[in-house]
């Protein structure tokens, strides 16, 4: 778009807005629907894998360095029955690698909590020792473990 002001012409470029994780409003920290480039690899990965399937194509088009032909191939794979989550994993690994490196991207699924899928446990899993669980309601166990503010919240 060009606007003429006197004898000079001014060129105004417009960039498309990237929808946030809610797939409705623009991505914004204040709306809480964003992926921060300085977030931990696992957090970034987790957010990208959890975006709605319909939004993944927009993210590929605006954020990925992949060719449009490759993206269109992914789209055809999904239309033919491929699991969209597998395609989102490719996007998540690419974005995490861009900001945190290839090694972080390769292990981001572990930080995102997907370790249980492979039978592994998170490294940062807190350990809580309780003297007795006998006749202790689950809500009390959660409270003593510090996983909830109080027993009422656990209930």
Q: Is the pLDDT of residue 35 over 50?
A: yes
Give mean pLDDT, residues 118-144.
69
pLDDT at position 141 is 77
pLDDT of residue 71: 97
User: To the nearest whole number, what is the mean pLDDT of the chain?
Assistant: 84
> Which of 7-11, 47-51, 120-124 reaches the highest mean pLDDT?
47-51
Closest residue by Cα to residue 109 from 87, 88, 93, 98: 93
Helix (H, G, I), strand (E, B) or coil at 5: strand
Q: In this structure, what are the phi and psi dihedrals at residue 81, rounded to the nearest 5 degrees?
A: 115, 0
CA-to-CA dists, residue 126 to 83, 115, 121, 129, angstroms: 33, 15, 11, 10
Residue of 153, 131, 98 whose CA lies nearest to 142: 153
pLDDT at 4: 56
Question: 65-123 pLDDT, tens per residue?
Answer: 999 999 999 999 999 999 999 999 999 999 999 999 999 999 888 777 654 455 555 55
pLDDT at position 1 is 53
Inter-residue contact 90 to 43 (CB < 8 Å):
no
pLDDT value at 30 more than 70: yes
Examine the pLDDT at 52 and tell me if it is beyond 90: yes
Residue 3 confidence (pLDDT) above 70: no
pTM: 0.65
Instruction: Write down the pLDDT at residue 100.
Output: 94
Domains of the chain: 17-124 (1.10.240.10), 125-155 (no CATH)
């Amino acid at each position: 778009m060009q606007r003429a002001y006197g004898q000079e012409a001014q060129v105004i470029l417009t960039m498309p807005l990237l929808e946030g994780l809610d797939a409705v409003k623009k991505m914004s920290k204040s709306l809480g629907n964003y992926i921060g480039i300085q977030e931990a690899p696992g957090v970034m990965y987790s957010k990208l894998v959890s975006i709605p399937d319909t939004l993944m194509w927009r993210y590929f088009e605006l954020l990925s360095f992949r060719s449009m032909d490759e993206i269109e191939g992914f789209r055809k794979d999904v239309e033919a029955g491929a699991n969209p989550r597998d395609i989102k994993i490719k996007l998540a690994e690419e974005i995490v690698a861009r900001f945190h490196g290839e090694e972080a991207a390769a292990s981001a699924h572990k930080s995102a909590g997907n370790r249980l899928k492979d039978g592994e446990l998170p490294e940062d899993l807190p350990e809580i020792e309780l003297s007795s669980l006998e006749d202790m309601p689950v809500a009390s166990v959660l409270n003593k473990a510090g996983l909830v503010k109080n027993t009422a919240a656990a209930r």
